[in-house]
Amino acid sequence: MVIEDRDAEVRKRAYELWQAAGSPWGREHEFWAAAGLEIEGERQEQEAIERSVAR
């Protein structure tokens, strides 16, 4: 995944998480970190699937 694409995906997901939590002021770093972990987990899961299919 290209870095710009990942950042855009994290930004979008962080905003979704922030909105779902009621748009709390001053917690943007919390949502950015959570979104980053979520996106990275999805990426690792996809890579594991691709490796298992390639065998």
User: pLDDT-derived band of residue 1, with 50, 70 and 90 as boundaries?
Assistant: low
Can you read off the two tokens belonging to residue 48?
Answer: 């594991």
Residue 48 above 70 pLDDT?
yes
pLDDT (mean) for 27-46: 95
Entry pTM: 0.79
Q: What is the largest CA-CA distance in the chain?
A: 48
The mean pLDDT value of the chain amounts to: 92
pLDDT digits over 14-34, tens only? 999 999 999 999 999 999 999
Domain boundaries, the chain: 3-54
Q: From CA 39, how far away is CA 22, in angstroms rounded?
A: 21
The share of the chain scoring above pLDDT 70, in percent, equals: 96
